[in-house]
Amino acid sequence: MGDAHGSRHTPSLAPSFGPSTQAVHADDDLNNAPDVAPPLHVSTTFRYANDPESLVPAAENHTPNPEAHVYSRLTAPNATRLEQLLSSLINAPCLTYSSGLAALHAAYVLLNPKRVSIGDGYHGTHGVLGIHQRLRGTQILPLDCPASNLHAGDVIHLETPLNPTGELYNIKMYAEKARSRGALLLVDATFGPPGLQDPFVWGADIVMHSGTKYIGGHSDMLCGILATNRQAWLTELKKDREFLGAVMGNMEGWLGVRSIRTLDLRVKKQSKNASKLVDWLSTCKNTDSDDEEAKLVKAVVYRIQHASQQVEDMHWLKEQMPNGFGPVFAIWMKDKSMARRLPSLLSLFHHATSLGGVEGLVEWRSMSDATVDPRVVRVSVGVEDWEDLKEDFINGFQALINQGDASPGS
């Protein structure tokens, strides 16, 4: 029964509900106002109870009420609501941070490993680890280092799908490697958001997302996420966050709630679009046909990278990502000049860094990552009709040829 304002409290949803239902209703028990759309709370500080007898001093408050907010560097209504929604979708308790790198830094403050085994991937991650190397001498090992190089408490840092190629690593294999040495597995699952990939099923100890990307989904908010099923870690992360100060802003928390409602719809459409585009490009690249589209692609494209192209890995890849192989892929152009100029010749794809928004984005990756081959163009596929995105590429490739860089059939 609703209260005088028409609001109601409902119990948390059963885990048997599907992800789209969870995304819309997993926060229903936090509804304490008649608004159907959750209100935006902007306050940084919150009143204590008026009844002196109900006041619980901090030293005695061992189980804080998640709705009894005190100061927004600790908790705030919008971020708390987002964390509850995320926890239902990621299948582990979640904490939010001001950015993905803030979340990653918090993870390494918590874990404090002597060694981190890591491969290629997001350059920002290596920047964070560089800080930890400077502060406490963290040793960086290759991702494929022998298991014997790892010791108890060390971390295998696995980014999958990988930035900027969208290729996958086998989470289960690295989890087994970590456990064989008493090490820990941290998975950066930014490119494989909820609905596409669940790293905990395959043995991850802690999962990180840059929620700026697919969780936000509209290129208008910064967010970082850490998730773990280890309660002691979660407690320590909450304490650390209070003093690191890397909390989400109120507006960003509200935008996150807005965004997550459609997460499942967006990422599956984006992933399907990406697979269709990659399949078309790959077919054109590898066919013996004299088809005009094939000749066009062959004239400008050197290589395509995406999880859907990892044919030899399909025996585990389809299990790890059963609902789609991710919305990001990489196109290697024939030369640096083509990679530099292609983004400006596209109409539907915006030339910008980042990814995960409803709009298609392309980036000459050299603009933001000095370590990547200058021929690489990263593609983040949006929710547009894939045939229109395909036509945009055809027009862009043709424009490159018209500028004299290549000719069909070359």
As a whole number, the mean pLDDT across the chain is 93
Q: To 5 degrees, how large is the angle CA 259–CA 83–CA 263? A: 25
**Predicted local confidence at residue 18, as pLDDT:** 92
pLDDT, average across residues 338-342: 98
CA distance 319 to 140: 30
Q: pLDDT tens for residues 210-256?
A: 999 999 999 999 999 999 999 999 999 999 999 999 999 999 999 99
**Position 4 pLDDT exceeds 70:** no
Q: pLDDT tens for residues 34-87?
A: 999 999 999 999 999 899 998 989 888 877 776 789 999 999 999 999 999 999
**Position 406 pLDDT exceeds 90:** no
SS3 97: strand
**Position 409 pLDDT exceeds 70:** no
The pLDDT confidence band at residue 2, using thresholds 50, 70 and 90, is very low
The pLDDT confidence band at residue 354, using thresholds 50, 70 and 90, is very high
**Predicted local confidence at residue 137, as pLDDT:** 97
Residues 129 and 140: beta-carbon distance below 8 Å: yes
Q: To 5 degrees, how large is the angle CA 139–CA 144–CA 148? A: 70
Q: Long-range pairs for 41-45 at CB < 8 Å and ≥24 separation?
A: 41/76, 41/77, 41/78, 41/250, 41/254, 42/250, 42/251, 43/72, 43/76, 43/250, 44/71, 44/72, 44/73, 44/76, 44/250, 45/70, 45/71, 45/72
CA distance 143 to 140: 9
